[in-house]
Amino acid sequence: MPRAVYVLALGIFAMVTSEFVVAGLMPRLADGLGATVPQVGYLITAFAVAMAVGGPFLTVALLRVTPKNALLLLFAVFLAGNVLAATATDYATMLAARIVTGVASQAFFGVAISLAVRLTRAETRGRAIAVVMNGLMLGTLLGLPLSTLVGERFGWRAAFWVISAIAVVAAATTLVGVPALARAEGEGGFRQERGVFRRPRLWLVLSTSTLIIGATFAAFSYLNPILTELTGFATGTVPLLLIAYGAATVVGNTVVGRLADRHTVPVLAVGLGLNAVFLAGFALLAEVPVAAVALLLGVGLVGVTMNPAMVTRVQRTGNARPLVNTVHSSFITLGVILGSSLGALAIDAWGLRATLWLGAAMAVLGLLTLLPDAGRRRPEEAPHVMFEPQS
């Protein structure tokens, strides 16, 4: 595996850590900005919406820039957003900072995934995507507790400064460790790149990714109250359980990455089926601690870890260029928004257990979106143009 792929993972780690930092420091941010905790919660929503809506527009603006220069420009925008957050004195400034960093993060995902594909041969692309996406998994496993620990000990501003430092290190590593490739042959401006979105099947494939992530985040967004109020764990135990969940995502992501190239659709089908079973089982056995932990780890193994297979399927249906990858990331972010928001409505109507049933239902809907591929022979090998592998 080229070392540059691991460098790309470091950049995504920085982006994801910034995405999660608000969740771990809500009370401190509320005090520091003179805001309420619900208002601070909207900063998470703003980041997600900025990713989903703004990321593709920034990617379009960078279509004619070489991949390495695009990454460095995105690091500059991301760093500006984090510095603005670290120095914010009011809520409005922090909101603007979160929007800037959200837009840069989404575009970075698209460019980084496309570059990882270009740097590897066809038979190892799934593994390369898994390595890059491990930046996301490690952001959950290490980035969130690290930023929370720094914020609790040294103040919330220190957490944003640490993330900024990680971004500087990642940018410097990118400058040294990522080759300066030219734009891919056939890659053009927006008018040329938008043609792929006229394929109806691409939109169906994108919807599968939304449902996979939505199913997982319907549960993940509310794990803290589920584990404390339904399962009965002490508040201090929950961070340890979340670390175990994060470790499960790293394992699952690595396994899926090794299978994604040859068995793309079967991997997605098995993952969705198991996630539906785990979430439904969690809903039924939430009061049984041992069962709840086992099912939680099961969700970690087969939820967001489907990313390498999801990306591979999208690229084979459309192409592996930055705009397609960024739009795909927007559909993934839409899954986060839908899972968390619909989960809140379900909890208000039927209680905490309902969000687990919602997740199971979304996983089943995701399975239904795979049905058009059931009658196709190796549908994941659709002959659409991708990048040529680099020697």
Q: Are residues 267 and 356 in the same domain?
A: yes
- Cα–Cα dist 192/232, whole Å: 55
Report d(CA 372, CA 203) in Å as an integer.
13
Radius of gyration, CA atoms only, the chain: 20
Domain that holds residue 173: 1-187
Extract the tokens encoding 77. 């925008």
Closest-CA residue to 113 (of 310, 342, 292): 310
What gap in Å lies between CA 51 and CA 175, rounded to an integer? 24
| Pair (159, 194) in one structural domain | no
8 A C-beta contact, residue 174 and residue 68: yes
Whether 240 is covered by a domain: the verdict is yes
Residues in CB range of 92: below 8 A, 6 or more apart: none
Same domain, 170 and 202: no
Domain presence at residue 250: yes
Q: Is residue 14 part of a domain?
A: yes
Residue 386 lies in a domain: no
280, 365: one domain: yes
pLDDT of residue 380: 44
Both 299 and 341 in one domain: the answer is yes
**Pair 259, 148 in one domain:** no
For residue 105, give Cα distances in angstroms to 156, 270, 315: 20, 30, 20
181 and 199 in a single domain? The answer is no
Its pTM stands at 0.83
Q: State the DSSP string of 344-365.
A: HHHHHHH-THHHHHHHHHHHHH
Count how many domains the chain has.
Answer: 2
Predicted local confidence at residue 194, as pLDDT: 78
Say which CATH number the domain at 14 has. 1.20.1250.20
Same domain flag for 131 and 203: no
Residue-wise DSSP of 199-216: -HHHHHHHHHHHHHHHHH
Q: Which of 135, 166, 187 is the last residue of a domain?
A: 187
CB atoms within 10 A of CB 89: 10
From 163, 187, 211, give the residue that closes a domain: 187
Residues 138 and 1 occupy one common structural domain: yes
Whether 93 is covered by a domain: the verdict is yes
Structure tokens at 199: 């394929």
Q: In a structure prediction context, what are the per-residue pLDDT tens digits for the chain, which is 391 residues long?
A: 788 999 999 999 999 999 888 877 877 888 899 988 778 878 888 888 899 889 898 988 888 889 899 999 999 999 999 999 999 999 999 999 999 999 999 999 989 988 988 888 877 878 888 888 888 888 878 887 888 788 888 999 999 999 999 999 999 999 999 888 776 655 556 666 778 888 999 999 999 999 999 999 899 888 888 998 999 998 788 878 888 998 999 999 999 999 988 899 999 999 999 999 999 999 999 999 999 999 999 999 999 999 999 999 998 998 888 889 889 989 999 998 898 889 888 998 999 999 999 999 999 999 999 998 876 655 444 444 444 444 3
Residue 294 within a domain: yes
Residues 183 and 329 in one domain: no
Q: Would you state the torsion angle of the CA atoms of residues 110, 114, 120, 126, taken in this order, to the nearest 10 degrees? A: 50
Residues 11 and 121 occupy one common structural domain: yes
Residue 343 contacts residue 358 (beta carbons within 8 Å): yes
> Considering 156, 187, 218, which residue would you say is the last residue of a domain?
187
Phi and psi (nearest 5°) for 189? -80, -170
383 within domain boundaries: no
Same domain, 132 and 160: yes
Q: Using alpha carbons, select from 117, 25, 138 the residue that is nearest to residue 325.
A: 117
388 found inside a domain: no
Report yes or no: 244 and 297 within 8 Å, Cβ to Cβ: yes
